[in-house]
């Protein structure tokens, strides 16, 4: 399941983020890569302990906690603190699969990576190349979203970032552990939740609304790992 989450950040927030990020100190992006990923990763990022990364990451998590589509699609249990990277001057990230377990440096907590996220902080007009390519059973999907928009996809997916040949591609990337581990179950729950919301909006007194809501929660109860 690949989901686009529009307007996680407003344009005013994107401008504020970029001002702070542009003034920050960046390091080699391979500092957070596993053995396999480090061989194909070529970018720069903020250190995980950077005060700028920590502050902006908290603001992203707060914005996501207010986003109904994100909550419905991800059913988050734990969110890894957002990180920030930048691609320019030919930077790219070859084919890789994200690490299955991530350890939060500040707390030592371990998070299973069920879903990966990229929040775009550069507009598509600012750079050439830099598309996020995500492979699944239906083929390769190219993602290059407006600044402030985010893509959510299974961490099991093979994916890559194409070379940036002009300008800079700035983004936040991170992972989460979902209450529902299996992607197909999350997809069914999202579709059911969307249908319930549509009925509630269009026919609020429909007698099936209560039945469908009960079905949703009983399925969530069956599949949740918390």
Which residue ranges make up each domain of the chain?
3-178, 183-223
Find the mean pLDDT for residues 133-151.
96
Is residue 45 predicted with pLDDT exceeding 90?
yes
What is the rounded average pLDDT of the residues 98-124? 95
Whether the pLDDT of residue 37 is over 80: the answer is no
Tokens of residue 7, six digits: 């307007």
Residue 175 DSSP code: E
* Token digits of residue 156: 């099991």
Average of per-residue pLDDT across 131-157: 96
Tens digit of each residue's pLDDT (9 = 90 or more) over 154-181: 999 999 999 999 999 999 999 999 999 9
Per-residue pLDDT tens for 75-109? 999 999 999 999 999 999 999 999 999 999 889 99
Topology of the domain comprising 3-178: Jelly Rolls (2.60.120)
Q: How far apart are CA 168 and CA 86, in angstroms?
A: 7
Q: Which residue has the tokens 């920050």?
A: 24
């Amino acid at each position: 399941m690949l989901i686009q989450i529009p307007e996680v950040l407003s344009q005013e927030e994107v401008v504020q983020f970029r001002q702070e990020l542009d003034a920050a100190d960046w390091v080699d992006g391979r500092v957070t890569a596993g053995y396999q990923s480090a061989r194909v990763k070529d970018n720069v990022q903020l250190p995980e302990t950077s005060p700028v990364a920590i502050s902006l990451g908290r603001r992203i998590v707060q914005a996501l906690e207010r986003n109904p589509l994100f909550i419905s699609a991800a059913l988050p249990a734990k969110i890894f603190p957002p990180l920030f990277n930048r691609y320019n001057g030919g930077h790219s990230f070859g084919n890789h699969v994200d690490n299955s377990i991530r350890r939060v440096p500040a707390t030592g907590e371990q998070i299973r990576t069920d879903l990966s996220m990229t929040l775009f902080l550069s507009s598509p007009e600012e750079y050439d190349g830099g598309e996020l390519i995500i492979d699944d059973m239906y083929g390769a999907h190219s993602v290059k979203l407006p600044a402030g928009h985010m893509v959510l996809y299974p961490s099991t997916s093979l994916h890559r970032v194409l070379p940036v040949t002009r300008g800079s591609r700035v983004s936040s990337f991170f992972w989460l552990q979902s209450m529902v581990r299996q992607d197909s179950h999350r997809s069914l729950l999202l579709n059911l939740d969307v249908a319930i919301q549509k009925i509630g909006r269009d026919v609020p007194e429909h007698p099936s609304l209560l039945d469908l809501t009960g079905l949703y929660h009983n399925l969530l109860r069956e599949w949740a790992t918390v």
